[in-house]
Amino acid sequence: MPTGVAIRDARAQLFDAAERILLRDGPSGLTSRSVTAEAGCAKGVLHRHFADFDGFLAELIEDRIARVEQLGTALRERAGSASVAGNLTEALTEVFETVAVAIVSLVTFRDELRARLRQRRPVGIPILGEATTSIAQYLAAEVATGRVAPSADTGILSATLIGSAHLLFADRTAARPETGAVHAMVTTVLGGALTP
């Protein structure tokens, strides 16, 4: 895009461009130049909206965390409907099919970014921590409906589901796992936690 031409919702366009690059090329392919080229705008647009590139990346991660939290709200609202395993399979696929795995590698790849994120979120891995909390809250809601046993440790189940899903989706070069494989993992992890 030529200099001087305004673009609508530049932040969203830059975030979406960065996500596409992360998914396609991984964290090593993510530079301010690659982001602005992917977004089709002048390099100055990024620096007009963000103090520096790590500031941009921190805001990208916060934006994606907000999406995961919205997904968690929608998941809790489904408590008592469809099947527990089906709801979790869909939610885990939505989290990991997009940018969660790439965010983990990005945070690991960039020391300055990790330091900035630790100021806001001193514990856990960004996105995975929020996804774990969302799933634990959903499972607690299902305990209230009677579909998950009251004795179930929702925190351990949630962490196990997130870790197992991360392993299923971690290889960016392979095809995404089949829905059946994700569902089988969910039903195995839930095991005896579901009520008959």
Domains and CATH numbers, the chain: 1-49 (1.10.10.60), 53-193 (1.10.357)
Report the candidate in 86, 82, 80, 194 with the shortest Cα–Cα distance to residue 148: 194
Q: Long-range contacts: 164-172, Cβ < 8 Å, 24+?
A: 164/189, 165/92, 165/95, 165/96, 166/96, 166/100, 166/101, 166/104, 166/128, 168/96, 169/96, 169/97, 169/100, 169/101, 170/101, 172/23, 172/26, 172/101, 172/102
Q: What is the pTM of this model?
A: 0.86
* Cα–Cα distance measured from residue 18 to residue 11, given in angstroms and rounded to the nearest whole number: 11
pLDDT tens digit at each of 196 positions of the chain: 444 444 568 899 999 999 999 888 888 999 999 999 999 998 889 989 999 999 999 999 999 889 999 999 999 999 999 999 999 999 999 998 877 788 888 888 888 888 888 888 777 788 899 999 999 999 999 999 999 999 999 999 999 999 999 999 887 666 788 999 999 999 999 999 999 8
Q: How remote is the C-alpha of 46 from its chain's centroid?
A: 23
Euclidean distance between CA atoms 16 and 4, whole angstroms: 21
Pair 115, 97: CB distance under 8 Å? no
